[in-house]
């Protein structure tokens, strides 16, 4: 990890180098600072670990040493373990069904339309250059605010609203924050000794009060919304003897916060990569806009959930963006029961994995491996249309795989499609002068980011 700490390589590049160390090996050894990690390369072995023998590898690595010190991070679905994870996942799954997505679509679409119209207004007197990471994060913020927390926010028109500024502060792992993240994850005793925390107390207080006040208003006025907070409120009305878990305000806030983190940070990063590729390929942009125009004509200017989800080329663009730029780039698992791995190479011995040992699955490396995807470094949406049946689904892992795959994948996909739909319906986009080309990953940020940031020119369509 020294090259990452010294800014010589990004985290993903470092892991990909390990993935490519021996192309014949089923797995390779890697040190995450002082801790050994097994990086799994073989697709059948990945399936075995994440699905077939899932009961041996139930948990994620916990990067929070003391959940009481870090309640927002320490008690959410991603880091929960064992039976508690199973209980909360079973409860939250209901928030991401197709019917729930359809109910949230209008809320999302309104956010997307307002966002695109703001960019058009700012561009009427000429080209408008935007920091797309900042702008798309604001759209994602507003979408999460209305779909999860039940409040309306316009972060483009009101850029300093509390929901956005505190959320941005909480999810910003750039610069010194990335060092703090590495300290908490890898040196928990030192972090505890010096009181190093990821989330400040004022942010925890804001989100807890927001959830508490929203519930109080809904109870008082009989308000019902098809969102995540409503689902959690319903856990309070358990029948006697029910095994359904009842969540405290703090636990509810923790689940909502990880949902917020995923929708706010990782999904907006996906939007940045997708928009950059669309802006860099005018022929792809033109083809997508033709599809958008057809849908708008068929829907008389008001896109529907079914219409957007049936857009073949938009779907291919998002899928190819996820293949080329899987965020955050890897999966992890922790062994919970002893397990024997087959020999890594012919002639070697099997490897006994013990409880507590860690695994990383290098999604970025796998999805850019030419044995699974021809021309892996090229952005080719057509591969998900023309050769869709030829796609090796075992090598396509942008949301993970098995019971611990990302629970919010439908939400992330819809959120991204809605953003691209409204943006390209009203605007043409180009890479701005500030954009460093060819694009490469930043070596300064723990989170996946383009060096120098993402920058777009916005031109209103005639």
Q: pLDDT per residue over 360-376, tens digit each?
A: 999 999 999 999 999 99
Give the separation between CA 105 and CA 59, rounded to whole angstroms: 32
Per-residue pLDDT, 404: 93
If we measure between CA atoms, which residue out of 323, 298, 328, 319 comes closest to residue 417? 319
Task: With beta carbons less than 8 A apart as the criterion, state whether 54 and 402 touch.
Answer: yes
The DSSP annotation for 317-370 comes to HHHHHHHHS-SSS-EEEE-SS-EEEPPSSTTSPPEEE-TT-EEEE-HHHHHT-T
- Beta partners for residue 353, in sequence order: 339
Global pTM value: 0.90
pLDDT at 238 over 70: no
Which two structure tokens, joined as six digits, stand for 4?
């990452």
Find the mean pLDDT for residues 221-238.
77
Per-residue pLDDT, 197: 73
Per-residue pLDDT, 249: 82
Q: Is the dihedral of CA 152, 156, 162, 165 positive or negative?
A: positive
Contacts of 169 (CB under 8 A, 6+ apart): 200, 203
Per-residue model confidence as pLDDT tens digits over 259-302: 787 777 889 999 999 999 999 999 999 999 999 999 999 999 99
Q: Output the CA–CA distances (angstroms, integers) from residue 260 to 73, 149, 167, in the order listed.
A: 12, 9, 8
Give the separation between CA 5 and CA 21, rounded to whole angstroms: 20
Beta strand 35-40 with 339-341 is unpaired
pLDDT at 234 over 90: no
């Amino acid at each position: 990890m020294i090259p990452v700490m010294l800014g010589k390589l990004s985290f993903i590049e470092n892991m990909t180098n390990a993935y490519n160390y021996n192309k014949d090996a089923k797995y390779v050894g890697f040190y995450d600072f002082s801790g050994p990690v097994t990086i799994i390369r073989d697709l059948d072995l990945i399936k075995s670990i994440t699905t077939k023998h899932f009961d041996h590898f139930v948990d994620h690595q916990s990067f929070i040493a003391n959940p009481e010190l870090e309640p927002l991070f320490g008690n959410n679905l991603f880091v929960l373990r064992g039976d508690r994870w199973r209980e909360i996942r079973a409860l939250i799954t209901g928030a991401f069904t197709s019917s729930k997505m359809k109910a949230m679509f209008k809320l999302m679409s309104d956010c997307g339309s307002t966002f695109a119209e703001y960019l058009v207004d700012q561009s009427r007197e000429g080209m408008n250059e935007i920091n797309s990471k900042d702008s798309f994060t604001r759209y994602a913020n507003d979408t999460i605010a209305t779909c999860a927390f039940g409040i309306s926010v316009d972060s483009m028109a009101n850029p300093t609203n509390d929901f956005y500024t505190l959320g941005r502060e909480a999810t910003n792992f750039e610069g010194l924050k990335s060092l703090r993240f590495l300290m908490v994850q890898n040196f928990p005793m030192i972090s505890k000794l010096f009181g190093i925390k990821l989330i400040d107390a004022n942010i925890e207080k804001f989100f807890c009060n927001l959830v508490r006040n929203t519930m109080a208003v809904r109870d008082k006025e009989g308000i019902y919304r098809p969102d995540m907070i409503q689902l959690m409120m319903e856990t309070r009305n358990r029948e006697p003897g029910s095994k359904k878990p009842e969540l405290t305000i703090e636990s509810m806030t923790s689940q909502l916060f990880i949902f917020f983190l995923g929708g706010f940070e990782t999904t907006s990063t996906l939007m940045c990569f997708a928009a950059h590729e669309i802006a860099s390929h005018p022929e792809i942009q033109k083809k997508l806009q033709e599809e958008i125009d057809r849908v708008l004509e068929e829907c008389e200017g008001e896109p529907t959930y079914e219409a957007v989800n049936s857009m073949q080329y938009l779907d291919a663009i998002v899928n190819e963006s996820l293949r080329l730029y899987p965020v955050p780039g890897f999966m992890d698992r922790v062994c919970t029961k002893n397990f024997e791995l087959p020999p890594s190479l012919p002639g070697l011995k099997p490897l006994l994995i013990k409880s507590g040992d860690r695994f990383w699955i290098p999604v970025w490396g796998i999805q850019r491996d030419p044995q699974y995807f021809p021309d892996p470094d090229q952005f080719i949406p057509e591969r998900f249309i023309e050769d869709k049946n030829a796609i090796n689904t075992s090598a396509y892992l942008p949301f993970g795989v098995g019971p611990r795959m990302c629970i919010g994948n439908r939400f992330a996909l819809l959120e991204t499609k809605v953003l691209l739909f409204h943006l390209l319906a009203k605007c043409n986009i180009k890479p701005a002068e500030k954009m460093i080309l060819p694009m490469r990953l930043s070596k300064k940020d723990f989170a996946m980011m383009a060096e120098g940031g993402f920058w777009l020119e916005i031109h209103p369509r005639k």
